[in-house]
Structure 1
Amino acid sequence: MSGMQTTSVAAGPVPQKETIILATVGPPEPPKPAVTVNNNGYFSRVKKGNSVVSGVFFLLVYGGMDLASSLGWNHTFNVFLFTEYSYCWFIGVIIGAFATILTMSYLPKQVYYVLGALLQLTGSIIFTAAPGDYASCLAARYLAGLGIGLLTVPFLIHNAEVAGTNFRGVSAGLEQCALALGIEVQVIYITEWSSIVGAEPNLIHGIIGIVLSLLGLGLSALSVESPIFYLRRNQETMARQCQEKLLANSPSGISKALDEARLYVAESDSRSLGEELVASVGPFLKLLFFRCFVAFSFSLPLTMSIISSTAVAEGSSSGWPLYVFITMRLVGTGVALCFLDTLGRKAVSLVGLACMAGLMLGLAILYSDPLNIIAWKPMVQACNIGMALQAFAGLFVCSSSVYMGEAFPMRVKASLVGLIVIIEQLIHVIVIACVSFVSSEDIYFPYFLSASITMLLGVIFFAVSLPETKRMTLRQAGHRFQRWYDLSFY
C-alpha cells in the first residue's frame, strides 16, 4: 500500500511493543498567585484608625446641648441672669478637666470615656425625673459638665495619637462638629418642639441625653488605646496589639507606625521636664488665643443679639432666623472638615477668623446707636450678620481641635491642653457675668467692638506664627509649632 513500508526479520527475539501516549490536553496551568484585597479606602482607614471618635461623638453632642442651654437656650430657668444655673455646667467642665490633668498619665483613656458617659447618663436621668426642680437640674448640670470635662482632654490627645496623618484633621474636627450638632438640637427643640408638644424642655433634654449617653457609653467601651500609652511604660507587646487593631485594614503599615511612635516617645524621654516646658511656651500662647476665640464664636451676647434682632425683624410670626443661625454653624463645620486634610488647617481657620472679625465689627457699628435695637432695618441687618457669622465660626473652630492634639510635647501635653480647656470655660463664665450686670443696650457695642478688634489682631498673629501641619506626624507637627514664626500656608 502506498505510504507503508514492511520490514522482515529473519531471526532473533521479537521486540516488545512500546505504547506511546500522545497528550491531547496541555499541561495544567501553574497556580495563580493569590490576590489580596487591601481595603485601604479613605473611609475604611478612618473607621479603623479612629475608633475612638464613634463613642465620644455622641457624648459631645449632648455636651453641645448643655453648652447651648448655658448660653441662653433654655426657657425653664432664666439663664440671662448671673445665677448658679447659668454657669454651673462650665464649673463642672473645669473640675473634670483639672481631674484629667492630675490623673491622665496613669489611667487609660477608656476610663475617662466610660466615666464621663456614666456622669452624663446620671445627669440625664435626673433631668428626666425632676425637670422642674431647680436643685435637681442644678446637680444634673454639674454632673454633665464634669463628664464633658473628663472626656474632652483625653479625646483631643488620644485622637491625635491614633489617627493617621492623612485624616487627623477630620477625626479631630469632629469634636466641634458634634458640639455644633448638639447646639442645633437644643436650639430647635427649645424654639419649636417644646411649645408644640407642651412638654418640659428639661424633660426633653433629659430623654435625648439618655439616648446619647447610652450610645456613647456602649461605643466608648470598644475604643482602642493609643500605642503611645503602652510604649511610655515599655509594654511593647500591648503597644503592638493596639497598633494592629488600629491598622487592621493596612497590615503593612503597622511596623512603620509603631516605629514612629517609638521615636515620638524616645524624643520626649531624652529631654528633661524643664526643656519640654520651655519648648511649650510658644505653642501654649498660640493655642491659648486660638481656643479662646472659639469661646467668642458662640456666646451669650450672640444669643441675645440673634433673639432680639429676630423679634424686631420678624415679630412673633416667624422664628426662621434662629434655625438658620445655628444650622449655619453646623454647615460651616462640615465644610471645614472637607478641607482640613487637603487645603490645610491654617488657611481654613484664618479665613473663618477674618470673616468673623469683620462681621462682629459690623454688629458693633449697628449697636453703636442704642436706638437701633428697636429699629426694624438695623435689626434685619443684625439678624443677617448673626447668621453669616455662625457659618464662618464653624469654619474656624474645627482647626482648634486638631492643633490641640499636635502642638505640645508628649510629657506636658495633658497638663497644657487641660489648662487651655479650663481657661476657655472661664471666658464663658466671665462673659456671662459681664452680660448679667449690664443692660443689653450697653453690652452689645463694647463686647462686639472689643471681640472684633481682638480677632483682627489674632488674624495677624496667627498668619505669622501658626504652622501648617497637614500630612505631618505628631513629631513633625510638634517641631513646627515650636517655631516662633511660620509663614507657610499650604
Structure 2
Amino acid sequence: MAKDTELEMICRNDTPPAQEYIDPFPQRRNRIVYHPTVKQWMALLSGALIFVPGGMSMAFGLGWNLHTHIHTTMQLRYSWFIGFIVGALLAAPLIKTVPKRLFMLFGAFLVIIGGIIFTSVPYNYTAILAARYINGFAIGSATLVFLVHASEIAATENRGLCLWLEQNSMTVGIVIQVVYTSQWTSQVYFAADRLHGIIAIIFGVLAICCAHFTVESPIYFIRQCDDVRALNCLRQLQRPEYASPQALQMLLDEQKTYVVETETVEWRDTLIQSPMLRLLLYRSMVAFGFSLPMNEAMKVANLVVLGDYEWQPIVFVILRVGGTFSSLYMFDVTGRKLVSLVALLCTAVLSIAIGGEYDDELNVVSEHHMSVVCVLSQVFQFFAGLFAPSSSVYLSEAFPMKLKPFFIAGCLTLQQVIHIIVICTFHFNTYAMYMYALFVGILMLILFVVFVSTMPETRKTTLVEAQIRFRTLLNFKCC
C-alpha cells in the first residue's frame, strides 16, 4: 500500500491495521535530524515565560504567601491546582485541531488577566481566588501543549534541553515568590500580592510577544495532509545550510512515516503496551519534591533558629534552582536515567532523615534539631530540583502521538491531585510531619528500585525509538 494512500486514510479517520503498514523508507527509519535555528528556541520561549508566573502561583498555594492581605483559606491554596487540572484536561482533545500558537497566546492572555486582578484588587479575597483559578487554567493548558510541541520540534540531540525549560521556568517562578515574600516587611506600604500581579503581567506580555514567533510543528500539518505548510515549518526549523529541497523532502517523508506508524496503532494495543503507570508514578514524585509539608517544616525550623525569615529561605530556593540548572546538559550528555535516579535516591534518604528529626515532640523547640532540618530541607530541594526536569522529558517521549495529549494530561492531573490531597489533609504538627516525611522517603526508595529496572534511557533517540524502549517493561541500562 502506498504511503500517500495511508496518509489520506488517516485524514479520513479510516486507518488500516498497524500490521498492514509497509515502511517505504526502511533505510532512513528513525533518522530524523534537526539542525535547530533561533526560531526553534523562540517557539519554546513563549511557554517558558508563561511558566514563571505559574511557578509563583504554585508556591503561593504551597505556603509561600507570607504577607498576603487576605485570609488564607484551604480553597485559596488549592484553587490554582484545580484550574491547572481543568486546563490540561480541556487542552488534550483540542491540541490536534488548534494551532499551538493560539494556545500560547490564549494562555499568556489569561496570565495577564490574573496579574491585573492581583495588581488592582490585592485586598479582595474573591477576586484573588478567581485570579488563581484563571492562572491555573492558563498554566495547565500551556504545560500540556508545551510538552507535546517541544518534543515534536526539538532536535534529537537536544530534546532533553528543550523539555528542561518547563520545570526550569516553574522553578524560577518559585524562586521569585519565595524570595520576595520571605524578605517582605510590614514597613513597606505596598501590597505584596500587587507585586505578584505586576510580575505576572510582565511575563505574560513577554510571552505574547514571543508567541508570534512560534513555529508550528510539521506534524500538525502532516496530520491535516498539508505538505506545503509542513515543508515551510521544516524550513524554518532548519538552519539554511541544511535546508536544501532534497534534505527537507527527506525530513518530510520521515515525519510522514512517524505519523503513519503512530496514528495506525490500535487503541487496545497502545493501552496494553503503554508505560502509563510508570509515568504516573514518576511524575507524581515531582509533587512530593516541592510540597506544603516540606515548606512548612522549613519555615518553622527557620523561625526557631533565627526568629525571622532571613537568609535561610533564599538558600532554600537557590539550591532548588541550582539543582534544576545542574541537569541542564546532563540529560543530553550523561543520560536522563542515571541523573534522575541518583537524584531520586538522595531525595528519598533526605526525606527519611527529615522525618527522623520529628520523632520527638521536643525536637520542634530545639534549636539544634531545627538547624538540622533547615540544612536537610535545603539539600533536599537541590536533589528535588535535579530530578524534576527528567519527568518532563520522559512524558514527552513515552507515548505514541495519538494518545500522547491524553496520557500526559492524566499524569499532570495526578500530580496536582496529590497537591490538593496534601493541602486538604495536612496540618503541621510533630507526628504529622514525622509520618509524612517517612512515607515520602520510603515511597521514593521503593519507586527508585522500580524505576532502575523499568525506566529506559532515551538519550539521543528519536521519538519512535524512545517509544519502542518504553514498551519494553524491563530496562536495566542506565546510560
Give TM-score scaled by structure 2 length: 0.89
The one of 64, 86, 96 aligned to 2:87: 96
Give the secondary structure class of the aligned counterpart of 1:292: helix
Cα distance, 1:392 vs. partner? 0.5
> Residue 413 of structure 1 aligns with which residue?
404
Distance in 2 (CA, whole Å) between partners of 1:464 and 1:183 is: 32
> Residue 181 of structure 1 aligns with which residue?
172
1:470-489, aligned counterparts within 5 Å? 470-489=459-478
Amino acid at match of 2:279: L
| Cα distance, 1:79–1:170 mapped onto 2, change above 3 Å | farther
> Residue 50 of structure 1 aligns with which residue?
41
Q: In 2, are the aligned partners of 1:360 and 1:449 still within 8 Å (CA)?
A: yes
> Residue 458 of structure 1 aligns with which residue?
447
Cα distance, 1:386 vs. partner? 0.3
Distance in 1 (CA, whole Å) between partners of 2:187 and 2:70 is: 22
| Cα distance, 1:46–1:448 mapped onto 2, change above 3 Å | farther
1:133-152, aligned counterparts within 5 Å? 133-152=124-143
- Are 1:299 and 2:283 counterparts? no
Q: Number of aligned pairs?
A: 443
Distance in 1 (CA, whole Å) between partners of 2:452 and 2:70 is: 37
Larger CA deviation: 245-254 vs 208-217: 245-254
> Residue 365 of structure 2 aligns with which residue?
374
Q: In 1, are the aligned partners of 2:46 and 2:211 still within 8 Å (CA)?
A: yes
Larger CA deviation: 423-432 vs 228-237: 228-237
Cα distance, 1:77 vs. partner? 4.9
> Residue 10 of structure 1 aligns with which residue?
none
Cα distance, 1:370 vs. partner? 1.6
Distance in 1 (CA, whole Å) between partners of 2:384 and 2:70 is: 23
> Residue 282 of structure 2 aligns with which residue?
290
Cα distance, 1:254 vs. partner? 3.2
Cα distance, 1:440 vs. partner? 2.1
Identical positions, percent: 36
Q: Could you list the runs of 5+ residues in structure 2 that have no partner in the other structure?
A: 1-33
Give the secondary structure class of the aligned counterpart of 2:146: helix
Q: In 1, are the aligned partners of 2:87 and 2:136 still within 8 Å (CA)?
A: yes
Give the secondary structure class of the aligned counterpart of 2:282: helix
1:439-454, aligned counterparts within 5 Å? 439-454=428-443
| Cα distance, 1:237–1:289 mapped onto 2, change above 3 Å | same
Distance in 2 (CA, whole Å) between partners of 1:84 and 1:78 is: 16
1:70-219, aligned counterparts within 5 Å? 70-77=61-68, 83-193=74-184, 195=186, 197-219=188-210
Q: In 2, are the aligned partners of 1:353 and 1:392 still within 8 Å (CA)?
A: yes
> Residue 3 of structure 2 aligns with which residue?
none
Give the secondary structure class of the aligned counterpart of 1:197: coil
Cα distance, 1:232 vs. partner? 1.2
Cα distance, 1:275 vs. partner? 2.1
The one of 268, 272, 276 aligned to 2:266: 272
Q: Could you list the runs of 5+ residues in structure 1 that have no partner in the other structure?
A: 1-42
Cα distance, 1:198 vs. partner? 3.1
Distance in 1 (CA, whole Å) between partners of 2:262 and 2:70 is: 45
Distance in 1 (CA, whole Å) between partners of 2:332 and 2:186 is: 42
Cα distance, 1:111 vs. partner? 1.6
Please say which structure displays the higher CA radius of gyration.
1
Q: In 2, are the aligned partners of 1:354 and 1:459 still within 8 Å (CA)?
A: yes
Q: In 2, are the aligned partners of 1:117 and 1:216 still within 8 Å (CA)?
A: yes
> Residue 399 of structure 1 aligns with which residue?
390
Distance in 1 (CA, whole Å) between partners of 2:73 and 2:477 is: 44
Amino acid at match of 1:475: V
- Are 1:258 and 2:249 counterparts? no
Cα distance, 1:343 vs. partner? 0.3
Larger CA deviation: 181-190 vs 48-57: 48-57
> Residue 309 of structure 1 aligns with which residue?
301
Cα distance, 1:379 vs. partner? 0.5
Amino acid at match of 1:67: M
Give the secondary structure class of the aligned counterpart of 2:63: coil
Q: In 2, are the aligned partners of 1:325 and 1:390 still within 8 Å (CA)?
A: yes
Distance in 2 (CA, whole Å) between partners of 1:262 and 1:224 is: 18
Distance in 2 (CA, whole Å) between partners of 1:452 and 1:244 is: 48
Distance in 2 (CA, whole Å) between partners of 1:390 and 1:219 is: 31
| Cα distance, 1:460–1:82 mapped onto 2, change above 3 Å | farther
Q: In 2, are the aligned partners of 1:50 and 1:246 still within 8 Å (CA)?
A: no
Amino acid at match of 2:467: G
1:5-44, aligned counterparts within 5 Å? none
Distance in 1 (CA, whole Å) between partners of 2:342 and 2:211 is: 34
Distance in 2 (CA, whole Å) between partners of 1:200 and 1:56 is: 28
| Cα distance, 1:353–1:290 mapped onto 2, change above 3 Å | same
Cα distance, 1:443 vs. partner? 1.4
Amino acid at match of 2:323: G
Amino acid at match of 2:272: V
Q: What are the superposed Cα offsets for residues 286-344 of structure 1, whole Å, 9 maximum, x if unpaired?
A: 1101100000000000110111111112223x621110001111011101012110001
Larger CA deviation: 209-218 vs 190-199: 190-199
| Cα distance, 1:348–1:399 mapped onto 2, change above 3 Å | same
Amino acid at match of 2:258: Y
Q: In 2, are the aligned partners of 1:64 and 1:179 still within 8 Å (CA)?
A: yes
Give the secondary structure class of the aligned counterpart of 1:178: helix
